[in-house]
Structures are given as structure tokens and as C-alpha cells.
Amino acid sequence: MKRLLCLLLPLPLLLWESSALARDLSQDEALRLRERGIILPLSDVLQQARQRYAQARILEVELEEDDDHYLYEIELLTRDGQVRELEFDAVTGRLLKDEEDD
């Protein structure tokens, strides 16, 4: 019984961890959400990122769904060579995270 319990204990943690993972949305999904007015245009969010880091080079942009929230993740290279990861709420445009990326 004790051995069975040890095997079953990690199961809820695995289920919780897998449900906490964000899902990348396709271009078609992003277009549909934008056309329905659910998310902001990417250009609005990119403008905020550029205001924050003038002359930065955009490296990667993703639209994700995480727990029914839409997020824009923007990775950029600043003028001084630092890679930053910014996360914006895709519905409101609010900056949620700005940190150095490893």
C-alpha cells in the first residue's frame, strides 16, 4: 500500500503542471481573435515594446493562451546587447513581465 501511494502522489502534480502550460496559437487563430476584437493588434503591442526599448531588434513574437488569458510574448535584443522577454496581456495591452532572458 505504501509503495502504491508513493506511485500515485506525483500524478496530481503532473496533471497540474501540464494544465499550467501555455499553448501557442497559430496565425489563423490569432487572425480570428483579432477580427473578432478579442485581442489587440500586434502592432499596438510592438509599439509599446519599442517605446520601452528604443532601437531594439525584435527576435521573436508569440501569441499564447494560458488559463484562458491571451498573452503576447516578445523577445528582443536591446542596443546594449541584452536579450529581454516582455509579456503583454493581448486583450488590454498591459505589460505583465519584463525580464532579462537567459
pLDDT tens digit string along 47-57? 999 999 999 99
In the chain, what percentage of residues exceed pLDDT 90? 73
**What residues are paired with 72 via a beta bridge?**
63, 88
Is 86 within 8 Å of 76 (Cβ atoms)?
Answer: yes
Q: Please indicate, yes or no, if residue 69 is contained in any of the structural domains.
A: yes
Cα 20 from Cα 23, distance rounded (Å): 10
Can you give the CATH number for the domain in which 65 is found? 3.10.450.40
Which whole number is the average pLDDT over 76-81?
A: 95
pLDDT in tens, 14-23: 444 444 578 9
Q: What is the pLDDT of residue 19?
A: 44
Q: Which domain holds residue 56?
A: 22-100
Q: Is residue 79 part of a domain?
A: yes
Asked if 71 and 88 count as a contact pair (C-beta separation under 8 A), the reply is yes
14 located within any domain: no
Query: Model pTM?
Result: 0.76
Confidence at residue 101, expressed as pLDDT on a 0 to 100 scale = 85
- Identify whether 10 is part of a domain: no
User: Using CA atoms, how far apart are residues 76 and 57, in angstroms rounded to an integer?
Assistant: 5
pLDDT at 11: 43
56-74 pLDDT tens trace: 999 999 999 998 899 999 9
As given in the structure block, the three cell numbers for residue 85 are 522577454
Specify which residues 100 forms β-bridges with: 84
Please count the structural domains in the chain: 1
Run of H or E including 100: strand 95-100
The answer to whether position 13 is within a domain reads no
> CA 15 to CA 88: how far, in whole Å?
26
Q: What is the pLDDT of residue 21?
A: 74
